Amino acid sequence: MSMRSRLKRNRILKYLLSGVALILLVIIIFGLWIYTSLLAGPDSTELNNYHPFKSEKAKAEYYAFECKMEKTWPVQSDDRRVETSFGETFIRISGPINGPSLILLPGGGSNSLIWHANIQALSEVYRTYALDNIYDYGRSIYTRQLEIGQDYSTWLAELSDSLQLGNDIRMIGYSYGGWIASQFALDQPERLRQVALIAPAATILPFSNEYLVEMVKTLIPVRYYKKKIMHWVWKDLSAMGEWGENLVDQRVDYYQLALKSFKFKQPVNPTVLTDTELSELSVPVLYLVGENETVYDANKAVARLSRINPEIQIELISGTGHDLMFTHTQEINSILLDYLK
């Protein structure tokens, strides 16, 4: 090999090594950034005065933000905290004292205020119990880790006993809350009169690959990725002009702050119910889904339910997707109230 060839080879090797070193440095810096922004801080089960938040400052910032969110809550509510073996559950209770009981379960990464568009209509007749899920964002305070769907069922059973709701409970769950409601319906059917699943996470079909990829991106502590997925998941609301865009952006702001404020914990992954589980549902079930659903294929979900358990009432809403409660509020409220009657 000539001297010129050796020099050229060495120069190329030098550039390659420099490139690899630069890539490794970027990966290390990015990893440290993710760790300090998301994972650093107290352990998820470490109990202290500011648990489940990362610090007193984080707790104060979150509560201040939520106080602003409460201005959109259109009804008078009594706030109550109820102890269970999993921790303290925060509940917003509205509606007539002697009205039939109706439990509302929010989607993952949100809180009870997600029902702001529906609560007025629902609480005119029903005694509504809008929960902050025990192992999620909000004012509920978990004291032990939840690991399987049955843990949520046990939590709801203890909560119902403390509230003395008896065996005449109506339950509506949205997204992740829909999956929790399905677990309760399978495990404690004798307690339920009716259950409504609004765009339940998994439950009927696995998440689409596109949705999973976008969800992973939200863990990057940059608002851009959270805004991108929210405007995709709630794309029909986003397309409704400035009002819709602002509503989606408010949800992005909430999720961004909550992710920064709360201790990082591994949520219970929602499962897809087996054919046997779906066929054995003995509680009357209403399934609502938008035709533009982004979590999974709505038409395939409807086809599967129709084939396995034709007793389940299905409502496929046109012109909307995972944001159906906000784009088609009056229609959804009407369907729910007709079903609950």
* DSSP secondary structure, 52-118, as one string: TBSSHHHHHHHHHHHHHHGGG--S--EEEEEEETTEEEEEEEES-TTSPEEEEEPPTT--GGGGTTT
Average pLDDT, the chain: 91
Instruction: Write down the pTM of the prediction.
Output: 0.90
pLDDT digit string, tens, across residues 139-174: 999 999 999 999 999 999 999 999 999 999 999 999
Q: Which pLDDT does position 36 carry in this prediction? A: 53
Nearest-angstrom CA–CA distance, 26 and 35: 14
Q: Which pLDDT does position 30 carry in this prediction? A: 47
Mean pLDDT (whole number) for 222-245: 92
Are 131 and 105 a contacting pair, CB within 8 Å? yes
pLDDT grade, residue 33 (50/70/90)? very low
Mean pLDDT (whole number) for 83-94: 98
pLDDT digit string, tens, across residues 48-60: 999 999 999 999 9
Structure tokens at 69: 């969110």
Nearest-angstrom CA–CA distance, 24 and 16: 12
pLDDT grade, residue 325 (50/70/90)? very high
Mean pLDDT (whole number) for 323-335: 98
The beta-carbon contacts of 253-258 under 8 Å, at least 24 apart in sequence, are: 253/65, 254/65, 254/69, 254/110, 255/109, 255/110, 255/218, 255/226, 255/230, 256/223, 256/226, 257/61, 257/62, 257/65, 258/62, 258/109, 258/137
Mean pLDDT (whole number) for 184-202: 97
Angle, CA 126 vertex, CA 120 and CA 132 arms, to 5°: 70
Contacts of 307 (CB under 8 A, 6+ apart): none
User: What percent of the chain stands above pLDDT 70?
Assistant: 87
Q: For helices 176-187 and 149-163, give the axis angle rounded to 10 degrees.
A: 80
User: What percent of the chain stands above pLDDT 90?
Assistant: 79
* DSSP secondary structure, 187-238, as one string: H-GGGEEEEEEES-SSBTSPPPHHHHHHHHHTTSS-HHHHHHHHHHHTHHHH
Mean pLDDT (whole number) for 305-318: 98
Contacts of 27 (CB under 8 A, 6+ apart): none
Q: Which pLDDT does position 8 carry in this prediction? A: 60
Mean pLDDT (whole number) for 67-88: 97
pLDDT grade, residue 41 (50/70/90)? low
Structure tokens at 62: 């979150």
Query: In the predicted model, is pLDDT for residue 334 greater than 90?
Result: yes
Q: Which pLDDT does position 222 carry in this prediction? A: 77
